Structure 1
Amino acid sequence: MNRVDVQSSCSDDDEADTLSVDAALLKMLNAVAEKSGSEHIPLTSAVDRILAAPFLSPINVPSHRNAAVDGYAIIHTDLPSSGEIKTLNIVGRIVAGHPYKGRLKQGECLQIMTGAQMPDAADTVIMQEHVEIHDNTIHIDARHKNGQNVRQAGEDIQQNHTVLEAGIKLTPPQIGLIASLGISEVHVKTPLTIAVFSTGDELLSLGEPPREGCIYDSNRYSMISALKKIGCKVLDMGIIADDPEQLRSAFKLASNSADVIFTSGGVSVGAADYTKQILAETGSINFWKVAIKPGRPIAFGHIDNTTFFGLPGNPVAVMVTFYQFALPCLQKMMGLTTPLICPTIQAKSTHSIRKIAGRTEFQRGFLSKNNDGEWEVSTTGKQGSGILRSMSDANAFIILEHERPSINKGDWVITQPFSALF
């Protein structure tokens, strides 16, 4: 025998029994559901929060008929016939916030400013540039129409009509819209509570002195910042040693305290990877090998009513799997009905990229426009899953599709800008 009988591993170019990226994501999405819970908060704190119920307008917008331009308010029966010029007496002036107290009569007009409330009887506004003024009168011709330049009450929003649907993330324009209706509080969904911890005896917390054979924990900080960015409450549980009892206690505490648990590392087949063993005892967990690079080993499932994501241990693999798998699931659990739009851009590769067909690869790249105005992308150095610098220097993923082979310089590739994710 001249070969060792080995098992398949995540370092193989082509490993059996792997799920495609799309299949893995679909399984995850089908296994999670929206979490209940809502609260009323001040409008000033509501940006990026998710609306819990349809928002009905308590008033008409505009609340009254008003002038759409600066001009002169008249009664439409004073409009001249074809070929005729009419003279109307100016009997007053109206500005926004100060309604006219009298009643306009036939043969009269009122100077009116944009946004000012239309007086009783008046139903048409002549733009100030379309009149001739002589002493205290205006002259108008037959070019005008009944009802022109007037905004009707409720023309924009009608009272008791739905203004915003449940499940949208409130952005600054929507905050302004709610404020325009005189509302100071909004009903929003309660944020997800996420428990996060890293596993491994080799990990050091920030502030600890360096030790031989150890590295500083970066995954926890990446995950916590990503979770806070999308509005989650984070329970930071620190670093859990490679010890079955400590892991068992950590999972119990996390499942009692959080909607979702995130861990990194410990989902492979190493002798000290106890995460898999403990999860099998405490929950319903699937351990998947996904046809993705980086990030092939992923654990996903539930501990009681708490969803669990066990991401790989390498820093870049953590970020790739978080944004490609975890983020869409979290958006569904948050009740977000308008998920983030993550557009892709076709760009020319500035150099060749080695690629094995049969898996989806997420290279880290820098996307820019060349002198011809075309999008182009270059990789950010070495692409190993433990090289976080390649992620830090990048501004986009280069997505190399499942069946695509190696890329030649000048080939068009799909890129996903970080600006839509981060």
Structure 2
Amino acid sequence: MSLMPVATALDRLLASAAEHPPTAVIKVPLAGALGCVLAEPVVAVADVPPWDNSAMDGYALASSDLPAAMAGGLPVSQRITAGMAPLPLQPGTCARIFTGAPLPAGADAVQMQENVVQQGEVAQLQAPVVPGQNVRRRGQDIVAGAQVIAAGVRLRPQELGVIASVGLAEVSVRQPLRVAVVSTGDELVEPGTALAPGQIYNSNRFTLIGLLKSMGQTVLDAGILPDDLDATHARLRELSAEADVIITSGGVSVGEADCLGQALRGGGSVDLWKLAIKPGKPFTLATYAGTPVLGLPGNPAATLVTFLLLVRPYLLTRLGAMDTAAPQFELPTAFAWAEAGTRDEYLRARLEQGAVQLAGNQSSGVLSSASQATGLVCVPAGETFAAGDLVRYLPFSGLLR
């Protein structure tokens, strides 16, 4: 069986995700919307800013009064701070004004205080101004009726600030997916339990739950699935009734002890299996009782890499997100790669002084190197590179959210 290229697998995953309607629309308070996918466009109901205001601490005046302001000065007729409603500017006067305060009617410019000398109640300008100088115009940022943010945007802190600026206290977003997480294997035990011979601690459970929570999804923690075919069928039936997606780790191959793989092939359908990726070759997309099952490899680094590259964009597509691509950059490498592989390889790497360096052991069973890393370097199948060459770098800062 030939291995499927990663790009082909991703296309098929996203096409499969698109066959499912996006989740329901819910209203959430703006303070709780971080990371959510916007379900409806945000339209401004008012101009931002709602009135002309000063960009500086200084003096507001009509530019037609500039000659008098430069010669003998102008009387200061009022003092305007942010939050005040100013009076119209009296002709032939100026107003002491502070940053963010509304510009009084009749004024069209602000001279910064550093260019003004005030003696008593008279201000004399030391430099000229032109109409509009140091003035933030009404609607300069956002005009009423304009679409501020499109549906499908995943909300970051800056989007929350923009939405708040147009006065909205809640937004319509896509309901988080219910994602069941199940680990497989009789060798697994939970941390805090003494290890018996042949046992290991279940790290994948914590990695996957952490990844899903960082995306804001609802996690159904299904624990550890024993190596028993009947029990596997029973658990898959149970989870299929509760979850939108099931994510598993381990047991998806065709070996005698791979009960999950047997159950998916015997009671469900396998849509793709075995990818040209390292680590993560056994990644599987299947369906069981109508519910998608994303089968991740059991090796901890492979679990992490396949989630970031394949599961994350799948889930975002299910949520109706319009941008699911992983951020990536071309950066110079501080190490060489001399042996071309037959699969796209994703190396745990760290960014140091503008170049990427390998981060620890690259075995698929070693997770500590991911903790030392700041991202992944992609080495396409059949390629090598020398130190100093440009490589494709995917930072964790963009993938782990």
TM-score by length of 2: 0.88
Task: Tell me how far 1:217 sits from its aligned partner.
Answer: 2.0
Residue of structure 1 equivalent to 2:139: 154
SS in 2 for 1:276: helix
Residue of structure 1 equivalent to 2:97: 112
Q: Does 1:19 align with 2:25?
A: no
8 Å contact from structure 1 (residues 295, 320) kept in 2: yes
8 Å contact from structure 2 (residues 9, 272) kept in 1: no
Q: Does 1:344 align with 2:344?
A: no
Q: Distance in 2 between matches of 1:87 and 1:202?
A: 86
Question: Residue type of the partner of 2:343?
Answer: R
Residue of structure 2 equivalent to 1:380: 360
Q: Distance in 2 between matches of 1:251 and 1:217?
A: 20
Residue of structure 2 equivalent to 1:404: 383
Residue of structure 2 equivalent to 1:360: 344
Match of 1:209 among 183, 188, 194: 194
Q: Does 1:52 align with 2:39?
A: yes
Q: Identify which range, 136-145 or 307-316, moves more after superposition.
A: 136-145
Q: Identify which range, 223-232 or 270-279, moves more after superposition.
A: 270-279
Matched pairs, number: 398
Change (3 A) 1:132 1:344: closer
SS in 2 for 1:111: strand
8 Å contact from structure 2 (residues 274, 283) kept in 1: yes
Residue of structure 2 equivalent to 1:184: 169
Task: Tell me how far 1:306 sits from its aligned partner.
Answer: 2.4
Q: Deviations over 1:341-362 (max 9, x none)?
A: 5223433343555443x31112
Q: Deviations over 1:354-376 (max 9, x none)?
A: 443x311123334423xxxx514
Change (3 A) 1:376 1:154: closer
Q: Distance in 1 between matches of 2:139 and 2:10?
A: 44
Task: Tell me how far 1:174 sits from its aligned partner.
Answer: 2.5
Q: Distance in 2 between matches of 1:278 and 1:47?
A: 38
Residue of structure 1 equivalent to 2:278: 293
Structure index of larger Rg = 1
Residue of structure 2 equivalent to 1:245: 230
Q: Does 1:260 align with 2:245?
A: yes
Q: Deviations over 1:239-297 (max 9, x none)?
A: 11122221111111111111111111221121122223322344332242211222212
8 Å contact from structure 2 (residues 66, 128) kept in 1: no
Alignment of 1:196-235 (within 5 A): 196-235=181-220
Task: Tell me how far 1:320 sits from its aligned partner.
Answer: 1.8
Q: Deviations over 1:215-241 (max 9, x none)?
A: 222222211111111111110111111
Q: Identify which range, 411-420 or 261-270, moves more after superposition.
A: 411-420
Task: Tell me how far 1:50 sits from its aligned partner.
Answer: 2.2
Task: Tell me how far 1:408 sits from its aligned partner.
Answer: 5.8
Residue of structure 2 equivalent to 1:6: none
SS in 1 for 2:67: coil
8 Å contact from structure 1 (residues 79, 142) kept in 2: no
Q: Distance in 2 between matches of 1:398 and 1:76?
A: 58
Q: Distance in 2 between matches of 1:243 and 1:46?
A: 41
Q: Does 1:62 align with 2:53?
A: no
SS in 2 for 1:80: helix
Change (3 A) 1:353 1:418: farther
Question: Residue type of the partner of 1:50?
Answer: V
Q: Distance in 1 between matches of 2:331 and 2:396?
A: 14
Question: Residue type of the partner of 1:323?
Answer: L
Question: Residue type of the partner of 1:398?
Answer: V
SS in 2 for 1:89: strand
Residue of structure 2 equivalent to 1:175: 160
Q: Distance in 2 between matches of 1:412 and 1:149?
A: 45
Q: Distance in 2 between matches of 1:121 and 1:411?
A: 61
Q: Identify which range, 159-168 or 86-95, moves more after superposition.
A: 86-95
Q: Distance in 2 between matches of 1:87 and 1:367?
A: 58
Change (3 A) 1:359 1:144: same
Change (3 A) 1:19 1:67: same
8 Å contact from structure 1 (residues 66, 150) kept in 2: yes
Q: Distance in 2 between matches of 1:195 and 1:47?
A: 22
Alignment of 1:61-80 (within 5 A): 61-80=48-67
Match of 2:76 among 90, 102, 111: 90
Task: Tell me how far 1:324 sits from its aligned partner.
Answer: 1.7
Change (3 A) 1:348 1:147: closer
Task: Tell me how far 1:118 sits from its aligned partner.
Answer: 2.2
Q: Distance in 1 between matches of 2:205 and 2:262?
A: 21
Task: Tell me how far 1:79 sits from its aligned partner.
Answer: 3.8
Residue of structure 2 equivalent to 1:278: 263
Q: Distance in 1 between matches of 2:165 and 2:15?
A: 39
8 Å contact from structure 1 (residues 349, 413) kept in 2: no
Q: Distance in 2 between matches of 1:298 and 1:69?
A: 58
